[in-house]
A = this chain, B = another copy of it.
Amino acid sequence: MKQKDIEPGRRTGRPLSFDRDLALRRAMLVFWRHGYETTSLSDLTAAMGVTPPSIYTAFGDKKHLFLEAVGLYLSGPVTSETIITEAESARDAAAGLLRAAAIGFTGADTPSGCLLASSAISCSAAASDVQSELADIRKGIETQLRHRISADIRAAKLARSADAEALAAHVMAVIQGMSTLARDGAPRKKLMRIASTAMAAWPAST
């Protein structure tokens, strides 16, 4: 009988022969580069160094592996949420997000572009749930930024005429567009100049 109720500190059975975190990270990199549906199980087994049955016992099916990879992608010391909440102003939050995108989309040791913005943009009807799950994450980030902008407007740190929804949506559009530019080979310097240009659309701080 399975003892799924005792999760922390598994004591019995054959131990895992591979590094689960490392395998997940390798899976994330493959999904990042080739997308969700367009990455095959054989691509994953080759990159992870793990046989199919081990993948399924460790991660469930392909969908769960991908979603866990997305979770890994969004984790880390610096996230969009920390950038937004820890910035001193909504303007700094927007500039910080744009700057982080320019850097994160052109890493030397990672694929170009953004996993969140590229891995499940177009997919078959069978993957519409995964697609909408990523869409919800994107919308969540936009909502956080919009609320941050609205707060600055209420606090009179931004002009009352400022359009929180449009400013937040513009930043999100630029970030996701930067992902495609990066995939097309744009260097970090170019993305940085896009970020600067995008911030020129902001009203002056009051």
Interface residues, chain A, with chain B CB atoms under 8 Å away = 33-40, 43, 113, 117-125, 127, 135, 138-139, 163, 165-167, 169-170, 172-178, 180-181, 183-186, 190, 193-194, 196-202
Contact = CB atoms under 8 A, between A and B. Distances in A.
A139 to B, nearest CB: 6
Given A34-B122, A37-B38, 9 more contacts: A34-B124, A38-B38, A40-B124, A121-B180, A173-B181, A173-B194, A177-B178, A198-B198, A199-B201
A21 to B, nearest CB: 24
Contact of A170 (B180, B183, B184, B197): B197
Contact of A173 (B39, B125, B138, B177): B177
Number of copies: 2
B201 A198 contact: yes
B201 A167 contact: no
B194 A166 contact: yes
A190 B166 CA distance: 7
Contacts of A180: 117, 121, 138, 173, 176
A184 B135 contact: yes
Contacts of A174: 170, 173-174, 177, 198
Nearest to A182: B173
Contacts of A122: 33-36, 38, 118-122
Nearest to A169: B194
